[in-house]
């Protein structure tokens, strides 16, 4: 590719869509033209200066857009939007889809740029690429270097997921409920079926027949696929917490070969897209409200050996689910594709 690509962002009004456009601008991603697209509910809306400092972009109708005009598309909206338009767009362009629409399709590669970037080498000049859920990106990014060093056998993980994983309406719900509760009023409990303000809910997405939630099943499937380790056991409990942005994960990992805490920290320090706080003098434990607000890394802390099992570690992971694990991952994958085409 000799010239900068023409780019479409589908679902531009979503939290991920806005964050992705910010990331494109911040990283000065090569772009000949940028089209902000969405469904009819968002037509004509303008991206604010904070979201796009270079030019005002108004959202156009994805249903009327000709995807032969572009070389690269980011899908950032609902799964229904991807199911309707992504495959048609992939006939003309690279399509990076942040929705769950195609993640389980065996013919669609699943990519986290910090974990399995080599998968992108098999993509030609166009095609559909699925991007994992944010919790899966955070988990796989932390596990990948440890797996390469000691051979991961299983990971037991509890995720503490921010409401922004449920979209803009869920963020507004937490804000509104917080005001209501502090004012002595009753919370509405619409976004998650019950009150989320000052609460935790041990369910993310719908429950399946066996009692697992869809999010827990996604963590199992996506993490193993990203690591290229179908034999690894992933046992997950996904919990929604009253935090606006930033997922936290408590991870308990068992390995084939010995791996002490000190060596694990060294391994993690060399991992792609990771920052380890344990090695800093007086380093703080990463939290969603502090380190996770820096969108360029997955943060790991409290790395320690498991006193109850041999060849096992416990550690804590935090990452911005919208910016680092979704928008930043998508732009990083796109940068690999664009660079490889030149």
Per residue in 8-27, pLDDT (tens digit) is 999 999 999 999 999 999 99
What are the pLDDT digits (tens) for 82-93? 999 999 999 999
pLDDT of residue 295: 64
pLDDT of residue 52: 46
Question: What average pLDDT score do residues 24-34 get?
Answer: 93
Tally Cβ neighbours within 10 Å of residue 200: 12
CATH code given to domain 135-321: 3.30.360.10
Q: Judge whether residue 318 has pLDDT over 80.
A: yes
Question: What average pLDDT score do residues 138-158 get?
Answer: 98
Distance CA 75, CA 92 (A): 14
What are the pLDDT digits (tens) for 186-245? 988 888 999 999 999 999 999 999 999 999 999 999 999 999 999 999 999 999 999 999
Hey, where are the domains in the chain? Answer: 6-131+326-341, 135-321
pLDDT of residue 31: 93
Question: What average pLDDT score do residues 306-322 get?
Answer: 96
Domain 6-131+326-341 CATH (choose: 2.40.10.10, 3.40.640.10, 3.40.50.720, 3.40.50.300)? 3.40.50.720
Q: Judge whether residue 163 has pLDDT over 70.
A: yes
pTM for this one? Answer: 0.94
Q: Judge whether residue 132 has pLDDT over 60.
A: yes
Q: How far is CA 294 from CA 34, 144, 222, 298, 319, in A?
A: 25, 21, 24, 9, 9
What are the pLDDT digits (tens) for 44-60? 667 654 444 556 788 99
- What's the whole-number average pLDDT of the chain? 93
- Asked whether the beta carbons of 162 and 244 are under 8 A apart, the reply is yes
Q: Is 272 exposed, middle or buried (0-12, 13-18, 19+ CB in 10 A)?
A: middle
């Amino acid at each position: 590719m000799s010239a900068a690509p023409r780019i479409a962002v589908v679902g531009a009004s979503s939290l991920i869509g806005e964050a992705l456009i910010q990331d494109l601008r911040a990283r000065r991603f090569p772009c000949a033209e940028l089209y902000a697209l969405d469904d009819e509910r968002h037509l004509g809306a303008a991206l604010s200066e904070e979201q796009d400092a270079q030019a005002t972009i108004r959202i156009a109708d994805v249903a009327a857009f000709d995807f032969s005009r572009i070389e690269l598309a980011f899908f950032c909206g609902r799964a229904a939007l991807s199911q309707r338009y992504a495959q048609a767009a992939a006939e003309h362009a690279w399509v990076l889809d942040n929705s769950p629409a195609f993640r389980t399709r065996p013919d669609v590669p699943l990519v986290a740029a910090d974990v399995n970037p080599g998968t992108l080498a098999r993509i030609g000049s166009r095609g559909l690429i699925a991007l994992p859920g944010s919790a899966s990106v955070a988990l796989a990014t932390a596990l990948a270097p440890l797996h390469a060093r000691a051979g991961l056998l299983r990971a037991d993980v509890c995720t503490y997921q921010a409401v922004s994983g449920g979209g803009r309406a869920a963020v507004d719900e937490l804000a509104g409920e917080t005001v209501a509760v502090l004012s002595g009023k009753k919370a509405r409990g619409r976004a998650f079926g019950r009150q989320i303000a000052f609460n935790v809910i041990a369910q993310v997405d719908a429950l399946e027949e066996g009692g697992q939630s869809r999010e827990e099943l996604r963590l199992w499937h996506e993490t193993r696929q990203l690591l290229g380790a179908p034999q690894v056991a992933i046992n997950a409990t996904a919990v929604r917490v009253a935090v606006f942005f930033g997922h936290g994960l408590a991870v308990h990992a068992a390995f084939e070969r010995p791996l002490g805490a000190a060596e694990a920290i060294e391994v993690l320090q060399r991992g792609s897209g990771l920052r380890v706080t344990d090695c800093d003098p007086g380093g703080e434990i990463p939290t969603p409200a502090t380190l996770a607000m820096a969108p360029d890394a997955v943060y790991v802390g409290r790395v320690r050996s498991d006193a109850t099992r041999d060849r096992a570690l416990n550690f804590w992971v935090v990452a911005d689910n919208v910016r680092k694990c979704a928008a930043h991952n998508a732009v990083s994958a796109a940068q690999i594709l664009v660079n490889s085409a030149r």
